[in-house]
């Protein structure tokens, strides 16, 4: 923990992924960077990212390996306690996590895979916010970002639990925003669109990744929103120009 008690703390969920790691890099490169809590199930990816951020930016980083697909409420309470111990506060949560096993018919999707994917993409954010709510409300300006797919893109056949979860995140964000409308917390739904990530390349292997922009373009706009002190009430929306 730094000596600057006023330094904000951002929790990036899915930090080892394409967009999550890009947000971490943008945040670490800010003139007044926040301390970062990086959460992902990929421990090795987290360690590599932390080494990079500390070497390039001297970033203050904590790692929290956790698989959202199997995490229970008690796991998030333990995570919240760890954040308090390491940083004493939490100012922002950025949900960049995405778990999609590929496009397949409903009748070919194993029940266990369905539940795990739904929990990782939708249940996890709900449980995490419940566990961290008091910390976020104590922050001078709590911020929460949900990164989701455009509704029209994932409501069709073969998108399975991932598509259901993406649409559910929109409702989840709306409910949280409405219920906390009289607080200093602000919520953003971000539609990143097509990006050059391992997730998208796995879903669309026949398309050349050079056709998609790097996640850094979206990450820069997210960090700009998170850094603003004064934001209007209500649920905000950010749509990138690469939406497909």
Rounded to whole angstroms, how far apart are CA atoms 139 and 146? 19
Confidence band for 106, pLDDT divided at 50, 70 and 90: confident
Q: So what's the pLDDT on residue 55? A: 97
What is the chain's mean pLDDT, rounded? 88
* Residue 175 falls inside a structural domain: yes
What's the pLDDT tens digit per position in 22-71? 999 999 999 999 999 999 999 999 999 999 999 999 999 999 999 999 99
Q: For residue 84, give the CATH number of its domain.
A: 3.40.50.720
Q: Which of 154-163, 197-206, 221-230 has the lowest mean pLDDT?
A: 197-206
Residue 5 clears pLDDT 80, i.e. is over it: no
Within a domain: 64: yes
pLDDT band of 104, cuts 50, 70, 90:
confident
pLDDT of residue 14 exceeding 60, the answer is yes
Cα-based distances in Å from 218 to 21, 33, 38, 140, 222: 12, 18, 18, 25, 6
Domain count, the chain: 1
Domain assignment of residue 206, given as a range: 9-239
Measured CA to CA, the distance from residue 208 to residue 55 in angstroms comes to 32
């Amino acid at each position: 923990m730094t000596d600057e008690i006023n330094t904000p703390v951002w929790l990036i969920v899915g930090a080892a992924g394409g967009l999550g790691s890009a947000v971490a890099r943008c945040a670490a490169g800010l003139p007044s960077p926040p301390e970062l809590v990086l959460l992902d199930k990929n421990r090795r990816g987290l360690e590599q990212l932390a080494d990079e951020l500390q070497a390039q930016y001297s970033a203050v980083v904590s790692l929290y390996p956790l698989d959202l697909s199997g995490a229970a409420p008690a796991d998030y309470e333990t995570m919240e306690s760890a954040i308090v111990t390491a940083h004493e506060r939490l100012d922002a949560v950025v949900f960049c996590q995405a778990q999609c096993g590929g496009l397949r018919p409903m009748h070919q999707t194993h029940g266990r895979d369905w539940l795990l994917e739904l929990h990782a993409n939708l249940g996890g954010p709900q449980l995490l916010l419940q566990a961290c709510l008091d910390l976020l409300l104590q922050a001078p300006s709590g911020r929460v970002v949900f990164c989701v797919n455009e509704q029209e893109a994932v409501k069709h056949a073969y998108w399975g639990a991932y598509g259901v979860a993406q649409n559910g995140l929109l409702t989840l964000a709306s409910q949280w925003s409405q219920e906390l409308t009289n607080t200093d917390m602000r919520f953003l739904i971000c539609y990143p669109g097509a990006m050059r990530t391992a997730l998208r390349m796995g879903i669309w292997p026949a398309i050349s990744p050079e056709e998609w922009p790097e996640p850094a373009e979206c990450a820069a706009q997210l960090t700009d929103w998170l850094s603003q002190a004064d934001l209007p009430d209500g649920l905000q929306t950010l749509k990138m120009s690469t939406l497909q």
